[in-house]
Every structure is written in structure tokens, then in C-alpha cells.
Structure 1
Amino acid sequence: MRKLRDYDAELKALEDKARELKARKVEQLGELVIATGADSLTADELAGALVALVETTDTGKRETWAKRGAAFFRSKSRRTASAPDRDTGGAQAQSGGAQPASGATGAA
């Protein structure tokens, strides 16, 4: 006879995992805002800039922003070379403090 599966427990475990992932994503986004210096903007300014970014369909602008972002993360990871080898998508490299936001105003 087969052991019955506890679907409720499995569902609860999946919901807990999803909640953890969402909390980690929110934390990492907050760290990104701080690391880029965008925390000096008001919530309305930041939201407006992000909405403008999302609405942008110009692939040239998006590619430029992507290159700039990649360079930002590379420069951060070089400064924190003594950090653990584990890659967390740049979140640990950002915790070292905010750098001057050279791209914060040119995004719109």
C-alpha cells in the first residue's frame, strides 16, 4: 500500500518558499536602490522614472542602460573581491554603500 501524500503540507511548503523568494527580491531591489544612490529621490520621482523605463521600447536605449548596469555591477564586484565566492546576483556587492549615481538622472 502506498503512503498518502499530504497535499496541504506540500502546498504550504511551496507558499512559504514563494514568500521567501519574494521577500529576498524586495530586499535586493531595496539594496539596489541604495547602492545606486536612488534612495535620495522621492518615492514619486523613483516610481515615475521606473515607469518611464518600463514604457521605453527603444532597444538602443535599453541596450545602453543594460551595458551601464553591467559596468556598475562589475565595478562593485571588483571593490568587494574579498567577499565570499558565492554569487548572489550582485546583492552582496551592493551592500558596501552608495556610490555617486552617475546614471540616476540620465535614465529618463
Structure 2
Amino acid sequence: MRKPRDFDAELKALEDKGRELKTRKVQQLGELVIATGADQLGTDELAGALVAIAETKDTAKREAWAKRGVMFFESRSRRTAHASQRNPRSAQAQSGSTQSTASGTGSQ
């Protein structure tokens, strides 16, 4: 005879996973704001800029912003690689304590 499924436990596990993913996304977005230097902007300025970007339908602008974002992350990865070659001990500490903000934060 088959064991009955515990739907309540499965639902709770899914809700917990959803909360964990949302928390990770919020953390990564915060890290992205800090990494780009946008944390120096006022809250109103940052919100206004993000609203303007989200409302933009011009694909050429969006593609230009995407290319600039790729260049930003590539330059950061090169700097991180150069730093790790100079000081392997600090590179190990950094890689273990931070996550890539490039993954999981794509346009949605």
C-alpha cells in the first residue's frame, strides 16, 4: 500500500523555498546597487531612474544599457582575477563570502 502524501508539508516546503529565493533576490539587488555605486544616489533619484528604465520601450536604449552592464561585470571580473593573482589569500576569502550578482537578477 502506498504511503499518503503530506500535502501540507509539501506546501510549507514550497513556501519556504519561495521565501528563500525572494530573500536571495532582494539581497543580490542590494549588492548590485552597491557595486554600481548607485547607493550614493538619493532614494528618490534611484527610484525615479529605475522607473524610467522600466518604462522605456526603446529597444536600442535597452540593448545599449545591457551592453554597458555586460562591460561592467566583465571589468569587475577582470579586476577580481588580477587581485586574486596578486594576493591568493584574500581572493579565497572573497570567493567564499560573496555571490555573483550577475546570476539570478536578470530582467523579468
Whether TM exceeds 0.5 here: the answer is yes
% identity of equivalent residues:
75
Tell whether 2:53 aligns with 1:53.
yes
RMSD: 1.5
Tell whether 2:8 aligns with 1:12.
no
Tell whether 2:101 aligns with 1:91.
yes
Give the C-alpha shift of residue 77 in structure 1.
Answer: 1.1
Q: Write the letter of the residue equivalent to 1:15.
A: E
Tell me how many residue pairs correspond in the alignment. Answer: 88
TM-score (norm 2): 0.76
TM-score (norm 1): 0.76
More helix by share: 2
Paired residues for 1:63-74 under 5 Å = 63-74=63-74
**Aligned counterparts of 1:27 and 1:80: Cα–Cα separation in 2:** 21
Structure 1 spans left out of the alignment, 5+ residues: 93-108
Counterpart in the other structure of 1:39? 39
Runs of 4+ in 1 over 2 A off after TM superposition: 81-84
Give the C-alpha shift of residue 78 in structure 1.
Answer: 1.4
Give the C-alpha shift of residue 80 in structure 1.
Answer: 1.7
